Amino acid sequence: MNNFKTGKHLFLMGDIGCGKSTLIKNELKSHLDKVGGFYVQRIYKDNSLKGFRMCNVSENDYTLDYHLTSDVCDFPLFIEKITETNWKIEENIFLDSFNNIFKNKTGKSLILMDEIGGFELNNTYITKQIFDMLEGHIPIIGVIKSPKNKEVMKKILSNNSMLNNKDQNLAKLINHPNIELLHLDNSNKAVITEKIKSWIGVNIK
């Protein structure tokens, strides 16, 4: 017997690099025809992080890290490194990608949101869409940025004010009654993996 109810959303939280997105990807990869939503892809050039891209899990190959082979990036980045100390947030790119991904959820058994809890919670429209989906009937699996990780992001984007407020929205997200929040670390990966498998088994149709 498992403890999950159909329709209750499942999110992971944990330190940067602990394997949250990889774990979810490994358990979802055999069900991608029934999954909608997005994941954030890290873009590298010469092993140096260049930025972040929002990818539609229904249209892309679910690669968490993408390495550019030239200096030209052919797709839009919603966070882009300009110099080592200067990162640029493109809110409109995030908004356009978000709208395109979620304009049609018909026929999907699950929604992926990997990850939420960053600067997008400063946008009233995106925040409303996220919380509306949390009240919806399609189960959601994903990653929520922890307050600790958000502080790390604030330091990286220290020249940008978009992460400097609306922390109450992150707290509201973390404490949402429809969310089962699992805290991942190196000591409990096996247990969390089994919980994710169980949740997918209950909710996939």
Cα–Cα distance measured from residue 107 to residue 25, given in angstroms and rounded to the nearest whole number: 20
Which residue in the block uniquely carries the two structure tokens 């990036």? 73
pLDDT digits (tens, 9 = 90+) for 165-204: 557 888 899 999 999 999 999 899 999 999 999 999 999 8
Helix (H) or strand (E) holding 80: strand 79-83
Is residue 15 packed enough to be buried (19+ CB in 10 Å), middle (13-18) or exposed (0-12)?
Answer: middle
Cα–Cα distance measured from residue 25 to residue 10, given in angstroms and rounded to the nearest whole number: 14
- Per the CB < 8 A criterion, the answer to whether 140 and 196 are in contact is no
Domains of the chain: 9-203 (3.40.50.300)
**Is the pLDDT confidence value at 45 over 80?**
yes
Q: Decide: pTM greater than 0.85.
A: yes
